[in-house]
Amino acid sequence: MTYPFAGPDLSDAALTALTSEIAKTAGEYDRSAELPWAGIEAVHRAGLLTATIGRQYGGPGLGPRDTARILTAIGEGDASVGLLAANTLTTHAAQAASATWPERSYDDLLRRSQTGPALVNAIRAEPELGAPARGGLPRTTVTRTAGGWVLNGRKAYATGGTGLAYHVVWAVADEPDGDPQRPRVGHVIVPGDAAGITWIDTWDHLGLRASNTHDVRYQDVLLGADAFREIPRQPDGSYRDPAAATGPGSFGHPALYVGVARAARTAFAEFARSRVPAALGKPIAATERIQAVAGEIELQIVQAETLLHGVLLRLQAGEKPDLSAVKVAIARSVIAATQTAVAALGNPGLSRHNALERHLRDALCIRVHPPQEDAVLLAGGRRVLLSSPS
What tens-digit pLDDT sequence spans the chain (390 residues)?
A: 789 999 999 999 999 999 999 999 999 999 999 999 999 999 999 999 999 999 999 999 999 999 999 999 999 999 999 999 999 999 999 999 999 999 999 999 999 999 999 999 999 999 877 555 555 789 999 999 999 999 999 999 999 999 999 999 999 999 988 787 788 999 999 999 999 999 999 999 999 999 999 999 999 999 999 999 998 776 665 566 665 666 677 899 999 999 999 999 999 999 999 999 999 999 999 999 999 999 999 999 999 999 999 999 999 999 999 999 999 999 999 999 999 999 999 999 999 999 999 999 999 999 999 889 999 999 999 999 998 765
**Nearby residues of 176 by Cβ (< 8 Å), 6 or more positions away:** 144
Assign 130 to helix, strand or coil.
strand
Tell me the CATH number of domain 246-386, given options 3.40.640.10, 1.20.140.10, 3.40.50.300, 3.40.720.10: 1.20.140.10
Please report the DSSP string for 146-210 in residue order: SSSEEEEEEEEEETTGGGEEEEEEEEEEE-TTS-TTS--EEEEEEETT-TTEEEE-----SS-GG
The CATH code for residues 123-234 is 2.40.110.10
Compute, in degrees rounded to 10, the torsion defined by CA atoms 199, 42, 71, 294.
-110
Compute, in degrees rounded to 10, the torsion defined by CA atoms 315, 320, 321, 325.
110
8 A C-beta contact, residue 169 and residue 217: no
CATH topology of domain 12-117: Butyryl-Coa Dehydrogenase, subunit A; domain 1 (1.10.540)
Residue by residue, what is the 3-state secondary structure of 208-257? CHHHCCEEEEEEEEEECCCCEEECCCCCCCCCCCHHHCCCHHHHHHHHHH
8 A C-beta contact, residue 218 and residue 226: no
Please report the DSSP string for 262-314 in residue order: HHHHHHHHHHHHH---TTT-S-GGGSHHHHHHHHHHHHHHHHHHHHHHHHHHH
- Asked if the peptide bond before residue 254 counts as cis, ω within 30 degrees of 0, the response is no
8 A C-beta contact, residue 220 and residue 152: yes
Tell me which amino acid residue 43 is: V
The secondary structure element, H or E, covering residue 376 is: helix 373-386
β-strand partners of 122: 168
Going from N- to C-terminal start, the domains of the chain cover 12-117, 123-234, 246-386
